[in-house]
Structure 1
């Protein structure tokens, strides 16, 4: 009886082993186009540093801070720690400035998440903004907060 069922058992074992070797594909960000609008009076009428962080490793995500203030304070330490797990696009915009098409990094299509950090003076403008659900996002820098919308 063992000999007769061996092919079925072997087939099940091979299927189980094959399933373990298959890399589970993680969902990637939808973002493929990005614009930024700094409204008149944005960031209390001050120039705004803006970093867009593309995350390629799921273990990097929990390391990233929840606010722009923390990101910009320790940016070099985050970049050193995360290395190739992230790409960063850095911009600085004066009020009443528009960047229609931000240049995205070469591997942006593989990003698992995309976040924007604005170095805002007002606390309402400091939270990290998630861009991954937008295919054509526009980041709008208002006087005291940041808004992300679909173009």
Structure 2
């Protein structure tokens, strides 16, 4: 399953792919699609958002342009340098921003949220402004604020 086709990837590259490169490109598209489904969700191929296809093509093209993850190369002294992206160097990967985009498309936003937690079978009491319920006297809540009119 791939969210983009080999022809779409060839359109993003500025050279003609030989037989080995075609095989590698097909694998890169599958890898990028698998990562997109992992970071986002498993969209059906025909209903995936356009941005998913764009991100898959971008990742696969990035890999095809630099499959070894080099950041520097010199012909005279044979100097090669690898990127500082760590374990992702020389692999199909998404950047942090691309991962956030995929999570957003899938409806998975990172962050902190609060959730009301209550025991099974209990009902929340009607809140009184400026008063909190206490265990020893449920009929008369404890005043939290000094002023009945304006709690602040």
Q: Please, what TM-score do these two structures have when normalized by structure 1?
A: 0.21
Higher relative contact order (CA 8 A, sep 6+): 1
Which structure would you say has the larger Rg?
A: 2
Q: Please, what TM-score do these two structures have when normalized by structure 2?
A: 0.21
